[in-house]
Structure 1
Amino acid sequence: MPLDTAFTARLHQSADCLFGLIDRFSQATILIVGDLTLDEFLTGAVERVSREAPVLILRHEETQQVPGGGANAVYNFAKLGATVKAVGLLGKDEQGRAIQRIFSEAGIDDQGIFLDPDRPTITKTRISGHARQSVTQQIVRIDRKSDNLPPLELQHQLANYIRQQMTMVDAIVCSDYGDGTLTAPVIDAVLNHSRVIVDAQKGLDRYQKATLHTPNLPEAELAVGYSITNSETLLQAGRDLLALTQAEHILITRGEQGMTLFDRSHEQHIPAFNRTKVFDVTGAGDTVVAALTLGLTAGATFWEACVLGNLAASIVVRQFGTTTTHPTEMKAALEVLLNEDVY
């Protein structure tokens, strides 16, 4: 589908700048505070129905472990070339060691990760099965997590580490899935930085005067307390979110409808770049935040940064599962966008 004419013209005018911004992603040092999660995928072939109960028996074929939640946010930054400092909590368990191994292999600094022996590493295990000549389908998901807040001592250890790193990072990103890492002491420490990007599922008002919030449509509706169904309610929601958070900018991501950036004086709409080849939106919000933040640290305007975030997301939604992209892919996708005006 062709892009809006005015947007296309502005995109072409900004092309050289956008390519240059992508090239500078590797110059950034980013601290990400998040609910570190392991996404686990167990796959097997259906052998028969159990005699013990009317359930399928699967012959295990493969187990795949990838970063999820806040860990996916961390991983996105690393794959885009930034120097990354991860901050969060893990349990003293096999799943926590898996995340640490993944981070180590990606060159991610994990000195800000603290172990809590009384909490499991947040893990989402998806068990999927298939028969001969059939597609693999998810059967059940098992979640491991704690509903209790971490001990106050651990909260202060996280906060103290963040304060120690404050002058050594270009931005701080909060990847808040509501699983207990981002408590009041941690948020207070984060907000001392001059560039704070918040991706929170709920409780946006806890992050007063952050640089930018990036709620998706359901998260924005939850925060403002009403449905966003048209341009009027969208505009009102942007204004209400700015008032609620006292943020400099609000970016509402709206799936196939693109994204809308708000500040105190106006709003700017960025259309979706890929509407026809969307296979899986899992983790796309983390990708938006990563590319957007790296754009800002490289000197982008907020509009340019949002275009880069949108571009990166248009790549990962073409793939199944939690995935990432990298600068070479982004530049190739931008070339396609500029040459065809269709993506």
Structure 2
Amino acid sequence: ARLAMATDPKSVLANQLFKELERVHPPDIAISPITARAQLTKSNLARRIIDLGKGNVIVVGDLLIDELLEGRPERISREAPVLILEHVDTNLIPGGAANTANNITALGGACHAIGVCGVDDYAGKLAAMLEKHGITHDLVADPTRPTTVKTRILSKSHSLMQQLLRLDRIAHRNIDSSVERELGLKVAAAASRYQAIILSDYRAGAITNSIIESCRKIAMETRTLLIVDAQNGFERFGGCSLITPNQPDTEAALGYKIDSPLNLSRAGDEMLRLSGAEAILITRGSEGMALFQKNQPMEELPPFNRSEVFDVTGAGDTVVATMALALVTGSSYVEAMALGNLAAGIVVKKSGTAVTSQKEMLDTLETLDI
């Protein structure tokens, strides 16, 4: 079946997107645009963007600090053939689950971040960083592990910034049972005040099977959406509302390349069965996004920003944060995908882990060729 095109003049954005899909897909691949045709109008997306500020979300997971040490190159060391930098600046930026939380508050939503820290100087810095960004938080201190920090050493010369080295402070083991219990209690205490729980798994030990089960039970009891941003182990998340893997992680989980429309459709169906989730969103970089729901046809969107990609770091956090806010404020999955797509297209133009805002999203939406 050929791709049906929207004819309503108010649906020009949908037309633009589906024309791109028709170019990408051969005629024998059936993709239903019926739902998207009715929803992806410029005026409707603008309303949905404004509504993002009404949402409130808990983020549970691996809260990281991205530490940026900037130095000015001076000379080569006599001690070893290495560059000597003179320190210029130090910046601490929310990373991992903390970046997801930061994206939520940057979009006007309320966020409660729950995770683990060490008993060290960085624990206080993590708390202060979250407070600076307006993120309510509960940090469970674990003296057996460090606060997770990724330190990047950058050489800055004129307008050029070059990363020379990254040093990670991280425990690669799971949190123990006493920390699990305390984290679970923190989530249970906060859940009734929030509309969704995001599990953000950066493989730093916070998202254990016990935490997943606790959050699944809490979500069911409070009728809260449970959304997952993970890199592997998707079979652990049965019963959740949405999982947002990227294409490489999906390929690793399934054991084959997504190198054709047929394999993409197959991968989405298999991920639904593997995870038991209600919906799967596969983020595909320059190929856009593909949404799969139980008993629904695949929906695809090309990227809003195909050419101005500077840095994809943290774009997945932006997608899951935006979609969570969209879903809890009344957007359909297709609308939420479109907003996540738009937000990600903005942050990839920026350096490092970054966020966007309602204003940036509205301004970008206005510039689209409609």
Normalized against structure 1, the TM-score is what? 0.93
- CA RMSD, 1 decimal: 1.8
The alpha-carbon distance between structure 1 residues 239 and 12, as it changes in their structure 2 partners (threshold 3 A), is closer
The answer to whether 1:158 aligns with 2:187 is no
Provide the identity percentage: 41
- Deviation at residue 107 of structure 1 after TM alignment: 2.1
Pairing partner for 1:50 from 59, 77, 97: 77
The alpha-carbon distance between structure 1 residues 11 and 307, as it changes in their structure 2 partners (threshold 3 A), is farther
- Find the aligned partners of 2:85 and 2:20 in 1 and give their Cα distance: 54
2:197 maps to 172
2:241 maps to 211
Instruction: Write out per-residue CA displacement over residues 267-312 of structure 1, whole angstroms, 9 at most, x where no aligned residue.
Output: 0001100011110011011111111111111111100010000011
Unaligned 5+ segments in structure 2 are 1-15, 22-32
Instruction: Write out per-residue CA displacement over residues 14-69 of structure 1, whole angstroms, 9 at most, x where no aligned residue.
Output: 33322222222222221000100100111112211111111111111111110011
1:258 maps to 288
Q: State the number of aligned residues.
A: 336
Paired amino acid for 2:183: L
- Deviation at residue 142 of structure 1 after TM alignment: 0.4
- Find the aligned partners of 1:168 and 1:64 in 2 and give their Cα distance: 32
Pairing partner for 1:4 from 12, 18, 38: 18
Q: Is the 8 A contact 2:53 2:109 kept in 1?
A: yes
Pairing partner for 2:139 from 87, 90, 113: 113
304-313 or 101-110: bigger deviation? 101-110
2:333 maps to 302
The answer to whether 1:126 aligns with 2:140 is no
The answer to whether 1:144 aligns with 2:174 is no
Normalized against structure 2, the TM-score is what? 0.87
- Deviation at residue 221 of structure 1 after TM alignment: 0.8
- Find the aligned partners of 2:39 and 2:260 in 1 and give their Cα distance: 29
- Deviation at residue 168 of structure 1 after TM alignment: 1.8
- Find the aligned partners of 1:12 and 1:98 in 2 and give their Cα distance: 43
Instruction: Write out per-residue CA displacement over residues 145-183 of structure 1, whole angstroms, 9 at most, x where no aligned residue.
Output: 012222210111111221222322100011111111011
The answer to whether 1:186 aligns with 2:200 is no
* Map 1:262-341 → 2, pairs under 5 A: 262-265=292-295, 266-337=297-368, 340-341=369-370
- Deviation at residue 70 of structure 1 after TM alignment: 0.9
Pairing partner for 1:78 from 105, 121, 142: 105
- Find the aligned partners of 1:71 and 1:11 in 2 and give their Cα distance: 35
- Find the aligned partners of 1:327 and 1:73 in 2 and give their Cα distance: 16
Pairing partner for 2:256 from 226, 236, 245: 226
- Find the aligned partners of 2:186 and 2:319 in 1 and give their Cα distance: 26
What secondary structure, in the 3-state scheme, does the structure 2 residue paired with 1:136 have?
Answer: strand
83-92 or 4-13: bigger deviation? 4-13
The alpha-carbon distance between structure 1 residues 310 and 11, as it changes in their structure 2 partners (threshold 3 A), is farther
- Deviation at residue 106 of structure 1 after TM alignment: 2.1
Q: Is the 8 A contact 2:172 2:203 kept in 1?
A: no
- Find the aligned partners of 2:121 and 2:338 in 1 and give their Cα distance: 39
The alpha-carbon distance between structure 1 residues 314 and 13, as it changes in their structure 2 partners (threshold 3 A), is closer
- Deviation at residue 11 of structure 1 after TM alignment: 7.8
- Find the aligned partners of 1:304 and 1:232 in 2 and give their Cα distance: 24
